[in-house]
Structure 1
Amino acid sequence: MSELSYESPLAHAAAPQGLAITIREIPDRGMIDLRGLASDPAFLSAAHDALGFALPTEPRTSAAWGDVRVLWLSVDQWLILSTRSKAHDILANLRQTLKGIHSLAVDVSDMRAVIRLEGDACREVLMKGTSLDLLSGDYQPGTCRRMRFAEIAALLHVVEDTVFDVYVFRSYAHYAWDFLCATAKESSRVKLFGAQDVPA
């Protein structure tokens, strides 16, 4: 009998030469969707016990400890990130500590593809597909938010100032990949003029 094997959404995709940034898939990202009431101290305490750190409760923020990171998605939803191999243990801990508390924890590791963008021109490339002003001061490292990207639903996480993770549903992975590869071409680079001096 053959055994089940996992293959990431973009396992056979390769970024072309001549891009202004680096684009690659993060294939082993484990993801857990956590639901609960941020107004419930018992829920927050149990989640803290399971993860080892507090859930972020401010909109569009994230928190991390070691190789585990949590993204705030809404007033009652968080996305817990880890390696795929570690997600099973984290889920088991959550379900144990949250037993009897109004909550839901589900492994959604196969739901999304994660595309990482790295380089000084990441913000300009991303803005070709979204109306977000990523050059404003609102998108510092740690920021996360849902967005409309190239006409599809996506999740953006600012990992570092020049490192961004874009999460898209698995069925749109190749579409998002192709869009990014096309708009990140060096020949398509956008020149930003910035603030201009007023002519004398």
Structure 2
Amino acid sequence: MADLATSARRVSGLADFAADTTSIGGVTLADAGPASRFVLRGSEAAAAASGPFGVAIPTTSLRAGEGSGRAALWLGPDEWLLLGAAHETAAIQSALEQAMAGVPHSLVDVSHRQMGIAVEGPGAALALNAAVPLDLSAEAFPAGMCARTIFEKAEIVLWRTGPERFHVEVWRSFAPYVWEILDVVRKENAAAA
């Protein structure tokens, strides 16, 4: 019998939806793919974690820092979501734990709990605003801004990565729900145009 621990493979929660990445109504949806995801807590942890993580952990509210394929998203006064390449999970965790050994903190691997959806195009903000109660205009929510918010009944982390690009972090169980609503909205917007 095969060892389940070594034969198990993570499958995207959007496998049934993400095959078609056609732009509809000025919006393209895509599965952001697997990633390392950690929730870091601790007011002193940001300074200790920035160097080994390779990205300055933002201390300004609602901001994200990124570079070298990694990102740190501010979620609260002492909480951040850290994103990196999927194959780096163990290395990131080890480096951060060593750097923060004497610092009060919590570092939790949430790589399997969450997934990302990329929402892109000139209609991206409008499509997201069908279910997100924030002002997503470029003036109010510029590139580099992130926020923990709601998408209908799902809690998400929304990050504007460019003028017409957003990254949605959502719990795996809610990903199809968020995808389907975005798909319906973009189709309705296309029909109304």
TM-score normalized by structure 1? Answer: 0.86
| 1:154-195 deviation per Cα after TM superposition (whole angstroms, max 9, x unaligned) | 11000101111111111111111111110011655677xxxx
Q: Distance in 2 between matches of 1:68 and 1:30?
A: 9
CA contact (8 A) 2:64 2:146 kept: yes
Q: Give the one of 65, 70, 74 matched to 2:76.
A: 74
Identity across matched positions, percent: 28
Unaligned runs of 5+ in 2: none
Bigger Cα Rg: 1
The letter for the 1-side match of 2:112 is D
Q: Quick check: 1:114–1:168 contact (8 Å CA) kept in 2?
A: yes
Aligned length: 187
Pair 1:16–1:36, CA change in 2 (3 A): closer
Q: Is the Cα–Cα contact under 8 Å of residues 148 and 158 in structure 2 kept in the other structure? A: yes
CA distance in 1: counterparts of 2:191 and 2:138, whole angstroms: 19
* Residue aligned with 2:24, SS: coil
AA partner of residue 62 (structure 1): A
- Seen in structure 2, the aligned counterparts of structure 1 residues 34 and 18 have a Cα distance that, compared at 3 Å, is closer
TM-score for the superposition, normalised by structure 2:
0.89
Conserved 8 A contact 2:55-2:70: no
Separation (CA, whole Å) in 2 of partners of 1:150 and 1:56: 28
Which ranges of 4 or more aligned residues in structure 1 deviate by more than 6 Å?
A: none
| Root mean square deviation, CA, Å | 1.9
Change (3 A) 1:22 1:136: closer
Matches within 5 A, 1:12-91: 12-14=16-18, 15=20, 19-20=24-25, 21-37=27-43, 40=44, 43-91=45-93
Q: Measure how far apart 1:54 and its partner are.
A: 2.4
**Gaps (5+ residues) in structure 1?**
192-200
Matched, 1:9 2:13: yes
Aligned to 1:179: 181
